[in-house]
Chain A
Amino acid sequence: MLILKLALRNLLGAGLRTWLNVIALSFSFVAIIFMQGLYTGMNDQVEQATIKALYGGGQIWQKAYDPYDPLTLPDAHDIIPEYLKILIDKNQATPILIRQATIYPQGRFRSILLKGIDPQQNILSIPSPMLKGDQEIIPALVGSRMAKSIGVQPGDQITVQWRDTHGTFDARDVTIVEVMKTTVQEIDNDQIWIPLDRLQTLLAMPGQATLIVLKDNVQAPQHLAGWEFKSLEYLFEDIHAVVRSKRIGGSTLYIVLLSLALLAIFDTQVLSIFRRRKEMGTLMALGMTRTAIIKLFTTEGALHGILAALIASIYGIPLLTYIARIGWKLPEATDTIGYALGEKLFPVYSTGLVVGTTLLVLLATTIVSFLPTRKIARLKPTDALRGKMS
């Protein structure tokens, strides 16, 4: 208690020197929590948007289906099994049929994915109800990126060519009924969505699908002959890997910020030893033990961290809360890098993140304070009083 009292007295007595260090360290606290919050927010935001628009509560794939290999698509379809049909009828799942196709925007050849979706479904956030109705035309949905890329708008017609289940080439004009704005590029780029039943008919694949999307919290059936259940964990593997690599990249800045703050503390402590060695000699002459002096100087350093946490909380909590509410506006180019992020990123600060960062900074501050202070243990009182280092 005495050490704490003296350390606090020394710290407050040092005035500006203390406050400069504390403020610099508090910036690190806030910046580290903010940056880590951004990555957590990015992960959450991408996950939520992708779950809503694409993955639902998990997917069941026809066993030949591989989203990274278009050559599997001709075989990646099968009759929907009865036990999955029951789920679909109960509105607990929705089927999607995927076929490779070709369009010719401005006379150019372009390979796309033609996807069939049930217009009645409400499991995914795709505006499929727009595909209901008119049997005279084939209604189609495209994403805003796709629409921009091929230069179409609602009411335009596109000629789509494909090969049916027998390998026969066929083509039809589809009419764009809606351009959907979505942050999830996996339902947008190079894709045209039409009603499932129309696609099944056009492909001569009645009752067939490539994959079934489960509703959130619906248990996947146990026996899936010819089909494979893909959990959200599996589906997000790639996204998590990307976020993880981004987080590691961001950690470089985190480490630089923390190192700068710790360097300031370390520097202060080293300078303190050189500047205050006479003072230490005086403390020894007054009867303070070496251990107590080490404790005193280490506590002084550690208190920098505690004061910084307090200062950071004064301006950091309102600032970070405000940013979490209004979001962090992302640059235009973010839309092209493949994340389902939208225009704003909303940081998420977990208790673990805040407590973990605080403890990490406090521990690091204590260590860098202790290291130079150890030197005091070797200081002879007479040398210290003369201002010499032994």
Chain B
Amino acid sequence: MQNSEIIKTENLDKIYPLGLTTLKALDKITLSVSKGEFVGLVGPSGSGKTTLLNIIGSLDSPTSGSAEVLGQKIESLSHKQAAQLRNKYIGFIFQTFNLLPVYTVYENVEFPLLLLGMNNTQRRKLIMHALAWVGLADRADSKPAQLSGGQSQRVAIARAIVKKPEIILADEPTANLDAENSHHIMKTMVQLNAELKTTFVFATHDEKVITYIRRKITLIDGRIEMDERKP
């Protein structure tokens, strides 16, 4: 594992207006993640895991404090710059898979590469490689509606890894899967992390996922309660 910091936050606050009051989702979060780490943000529902993940993924911006991802300050990025950061360097995996329903598996995985402007030959090679990685090369022409939950999540993983991003952010990736599929998905991600040195950050409260992660950051009420590394 390298020591270069790829994600760094300092005194990160996120406050949401809630009617006449406010809700502090993140409270003075300071952490750093190095390249190639396999990190889990764990904690109960409402502890701020997804909010932190969204800020790291430049989908949201902090109320105060700073978040730096790959040397870019999230709070000062324009919409366009944030989109470019996500497009080039970040892959997302969602709890509900978020596959594009009218596209085939192949087209879903192709989408990030189209945005990167790759030519057809390059795209085809990378897509088939990614699908082979997740064991779905034979389902390239299927539509998401024809896939099981586990298969759909594997397509989402293929879509996230196809462009070989620096960081993959996974929000409750196993929440909608049974135990067998959850383990399969996690093993796939461990393997990816080992082979591609991609940094993984999970938001999860699934015990099955927690057994795979090598660094566990526990969040309670928007604060870091514990930051443990497995030996």
Contacts and interface: CB of A to CB of B under 8 A. Distances in A.
Nearest to B114: A2
A287 B107 contact: no
A288 B115 contact: yes
B188 interface: no
A381 interface: yes
B86 interface: yes
Contact of B92 (A5, A278, A286, A380): A286
Contacts of A291: 80
Given A286-B86, A290-B79, A9 B107 contact: yes
A284 B85 CA distance: 11
B69 to A, nearest CB: 14
B87 A287 contact: yes
B15 interface: no
Contacts of A251: none
Contacts of A285: 57, 59, 86, 92, 94, 98
Given A279-B101, A282-B98, A287 B59 contact: no
B57 A380 contact: no
A283 B103 CA distance: 13
B212 interface: no
Contacts of B83: 284, 287-290
Contacts of B85: 287
A382 interface: yes
A297 to B, nearest CB: 13
B94 A385 contact: yes
Contacts of B84: 287, 289
A2 B107 CA distance: 13
A281 B92 CA distance: 11
Contact of B114 (A6, A14, A278): A6
Most buried by A among B84, B96, B102: B102
Contacts of B88: 287
A385 B59 contact: yes
A382 B54 CA distance: 7
A289 B112 contact: no
A286 to B, nearest CB: 5
B98 A281 contact: yes
B52 to A, nearest CB: 12
Given A285-B86, A286-B111, A286-B112, A385 B98 contact: yes
A285 B98 CA distance: 10
B179 interface: no
B23 interface: no
Interface string B14-27: 00000000000000
A10 B60 contact: no
Nearest to B57: A285
B194 interface: no
Interface string A1-15: 010011001100111
B98 A287 contact: no
Interface in A247-288: 278-279, 281-288
Contacts of B114: 2, 5-6
Chain B CB within 10 A, most for which of A10, A287, A385 = A287
Contacts of A385: 59, 94, 98
B100 interface: yes
Interface footprint category on B: 20 to 34
Contacts of B159: 286
A205 to B, nearest CB: 84
A381 B60 contact: yes
A15 B54 CA distance: 33
Interface string B186-228: 0000000000000000000000000000000000000000000
A13 B103 contact: yes
Given A286-B115, A287-B115, A9 B59 contact: no
B49 to A, nearest CB: 13
Contacts of A287: 83-88, 90, 112, 115
B112 to A, nearest CB: 5
A382 B102 CA distance: 22
Contacts of B79: 289-290
Contacts of B103: 9, 13
Nearest to B92: A285
Interface string A369-390: 0000000000011100100000
Contact of A284 (B59, B96, B112): B59
Nearest to B78: A289
Contacts of A286: 86-87, 92, 111-112, 115, 159
A13 B102 contact: yes
A283 B101 CA distance: 12
Contacts of A14: 102
Q: Which interface residue of A9, A282, A285 has the most chain B CB atoms within 10 A?
A: A285
B17 to A, nearest CB: 12
B77 to A, nearest CB: 12
Contacts of A278: 96, 98
23 contacts: A6-B114, A13-B102, A13-B103, A14-B102, A278-B98, A279-B101, A282-B99, A284-B86, A285-B57, A285-B59, A285-B86, A285-B92, A286-B111, A286-B159, A287-B84, A287-B85, A287-B86, A287-B87, A287-B88, A287-B115, A288-B83, A288-B115, A289-B79
Given A5-B114, A290-B79, A382-B54, 10 more contacts: A284-B83, A285-B86, A285-B94, A286-B87, A286-B112, A287-B115, A288-B83, A289-B79, A289-B83, A385-B98
Interface of A: 2, 5-6, 9-10, 13-15, 278-279, 281-291, 380-382, 385
Closest 7 CB pairs of A and B: A287-B87, A13-B102, A282-B98, A381-B59, A287-B86, A289-B83, A285-B92
